Structure 1
Amino acid sequence: MSVMLDLPQSLEKELSTEAAQLGLSLSEYVIRVLIAGRRVGQGIKSGADLVNYWHNEGLIGSRSDIVDSQEHARLLRRQAEQRVKE
């Protein structure tokens, strides 16, 4: 099914930028946004729901630069502990 939308230019640019950051076409990204919007009313009731939500939003696996997540967390913790308070 095809749907034509007349989006404000600023919204189209914003959506295009977000799609590019995720490596998706604009139409693929808009479909994800619409699906996610429909789920808002359903709520997240379990950990599995949360993981599914993160997966559908492209958050899981989005940091290919982090090979070892536990080591990365340790590094962030050390950096926070050594931060100079102003």
Structure 2
Amino acid sequence: MLEFVQTRDAMTLSLQLPQHLEAELSAEAARHGLTLPDYALQILATGSRPAKSELERKPRTGAELVEYWQREGLIGPAPAVNNAPEDARALREKAQNRRWAE
């Protein structure tokens, strides 16, 4: 069943969901840190359910693993170094002045 009331600024939408669908959507909403109404609004606004988070979807192939590492900046081109000697000196000084936990 679908009911809606439209006003000038917004529309109220009431849905009667089967219990299994409500439970599934509620669980997905919780995983995304959203309430069920906010999650439903996100689905309606984007036209699809959000993709699973990277923590939920693990790479299944070597290519997917490499793609994940590249996306996370773990592999790939090194960041540009403007002044290598100065950067090395600053890094060395930082390491020398490090305070160790006692």
Q: TM-score, normalised by structure 2?
A: 0.40
- Larger Cα-atom Rg: 2
What TM-score do the two structures reach when normalised by structure 1? 0.46
Higher strand content, 1 or 2: 2
Structure that is richer in helix per residue: 1
